[in-house]
Structure 1
Amino acid sequence: MLFNSLDFAIFLPAVFILYWFIFNKNLKAQNLLVLVASYVFYGWWDWRFLGLIAFSTAIDFLVGIQLDKSEKPGNRKILLGISLLVNIGLLGFFKYYNFFLDNFISAFTILGMPIKANSLHLILPVGISFYTFQTMSYSIDIYRKKLKATKDWVAFSAFVSFFPQLVAGPIERASNLLPQFFKRRKFNYSLAKDGLRQILWGLFKKIVIADNCAEFANTIFSNSENYQGSILFLGAVFFAFQIYGDFSGYSDIAIGTSRLFGFGLMKNFAFPYFSRDIAEFWRRWHISLSTWFRDYVYIPLGGSQCSKSRQIRNVLVIFLLSGFWHGANWTFIVWGALNALYFIPLLLRDKNRRNLETVASQKSLPSFREFIAMAGTFLLILFSWIFFRAENMGHAIQYLTNLFTPQLFAVPDFSGFPGMGTLLVLLFVFILVEWKGRFGDYGISQIQFHPNKIYRWSMYLLIIFIIDIFGNTNEQIEFIYFQF
Structure 2
Amino acid sequence: MLFNSFTFLIFLPIVFLLYWFVFQKNLKFQNAFLLLASYVFYGWWDWRFLGLIIASSAIDFWCGLKMSTDDGQQSTADLNQFEIEKGLTTDNRPLKTENWFTGRKRYLAISLIFNLGILAFFKYFNFFIDSAADFILLLGFQPHISTLNLILPVGISFYTFQTLSYSIDVYKGKLKPTKDPIAFFTFVAFFPQLVAGPIERASNLLPQFFKKREFEYQKGSDGMKLILWGLFKKMVIADNCALVVNPIFENYQTASGLELIMGAILFAFQIYGDFSGYSDIAIGVAKLFGFDLMTNFRTPYFSRDIAEFWRRWHISLSTWFRDYLYIPLGGSRVIKAKAIRNIFIVFLVSGFWHGANWTFIVWGGIHAALFIPIFLIGKNRTHLHEGSHLIPSFKEALKMVSTFTLVCIAWVFFRADSVGDAWGYLGGLFKNPLLPRNFAWLGYDIRIALILFLGLEWIGRFQFNWLGRLEGKWYRYPVYLFTGFLIVFWGVFTEAKEFIYFQF
TM-score (norm 1): 0.97
Question: 1:472 matched to which residue of 2?
Answer: 492
Question: 1:61 matched to which residue of 2?
Answer: 61
2-side partners of 1:460 and 1:393: how far apart?
Answer: 43
State the AA in 2 paired with 1:411.
Answer: L
What pairs up with 1:349-360 in 2 under 5 angstroms?
349-358=377-386, 360=387
What pairs up with 1:145-164 in 2 under 5 angstroms?
145-164=173-192
What pairs up with 1:221-300 in 2 under 5 angstroms?
221-300=249-328
Pair 1:392–1:265, CA change in 2 (3 A): same
Contact in 2 for aligned 1:434/1:444 (Cα 8 Å)? no
Contact in 1 for aligned 2:445/2:490 (Cα 8 Å)? no
1-side partners of 2:451 and 2:444: how far apart?
Answer: 11
- Kindly report structure 1 stretches of 4+ aligned residues shifted beyond 4 Å: none
1-side partners of 2:71 and 2:250: how far apart?
Answer: 57
2-side partners of 1:412 and 1:311: how far apart?
Answer: 46
Question: 2:70 matched to which residue of 1?
Answer: 70
Give the superposition deviation at 1:75.
Answer: 1.6
What pairs up with 1:65-464 in 2 under 5 angstroms?
65-70=65-70, 72=72, 73=98, 74-358=102-386, 360-361=387-388, 363-405=389-431, 407-408=432-433, 410-417=434-441, 419-450=442-473, 452=474, 455-464=475-484
Q: For 1:5-29, what per-residue CA distance to the aligned partner results, in whole angstroms no more than 9, with x for missing partners? A: 0100110000000010000100000
1-side partners of 2:300 and 2:70: how far apart?
Answer: 43
Paired residues in the alignment total 476
Contact in 2 for aligned 1:274/1:374 (Cα 8 Å)? yes
Percent identical: 58
State the AA in 2 paired with 1:3.
Answer: F
2-side partners of 1:194 and 1:347: how far apart?
Answer: 38
1-side partners of 2:320 and 2:439: how far apart?
Answer: 45
2-side partners of 1:201 and 1:71: how far apart?
Answer: 51
2-side partners of 1:317 and 1:449: how far apart?
Answer: 47
Pair 1:470–1:77, CA change in 2 (3 A): same
Contact in 2 for aligned 1:233/1:403 (Cα 8 Å)? yes
Could you say what secondary structure the match of 1:444 adopts?
Answer: helix
Give the superposition deviation at 1:216.
Answer: 0.4
Give the superposition deviation at 1:120.
Answer: 0.4
Give the superposition deviation at 1:111.
Answer: 1.4
* RMSD (Å), alpha carbons: 1.0
What pairs up with 1:24-63 in 2 under 5 angstroms?
24-63=24-63
Give the superposition deviation at 1:381.
Answer: 0.1
Contact in 2 for aligned 1:271/1:438 (Cα 8 Å)? yes
Give the superposition deviation at 1:449.
Answer: 4.3
Q: For 1:129-157, what per-residue CA distance to the aligned partner results, in whole angstroms no more than 9, with x for missing partners? A: 00000000000000000001111110000
Question: 2:90 matched to which residue of 1?
Answer: none
Q: For 1:209-268, what per-residue CA distance to the aligned partner results, in whole angstroms no more than 9, with x for missing partners? A: 000001100011011111111110000111100000000000000000000000000000
1-side partners of 2:182 and 2:501: how far apart?
Answer: 27
2-side partners of 1:46 and 1:124: how far apart?
Answer: 11
Could you say what secondary structure the match of 1:11 adopts?
Answer: helix
Give the superposition deviation at 1:76.
Answer: 1.3
TM-score (norm 2): 0.93
**Structure of greater Rg:** 2
Give the superposition deviation at 1:413.
Answer: 4.0
Contact in 2 for aligned 1:34/1:162 (Cα 8 Å)? yes
2-side partners of 1:396 and 1:308: how far apart?
Answer: 32
Which consecutive unaligned segments of at least 5 residues does structure 2 have?
Answer: 73-97
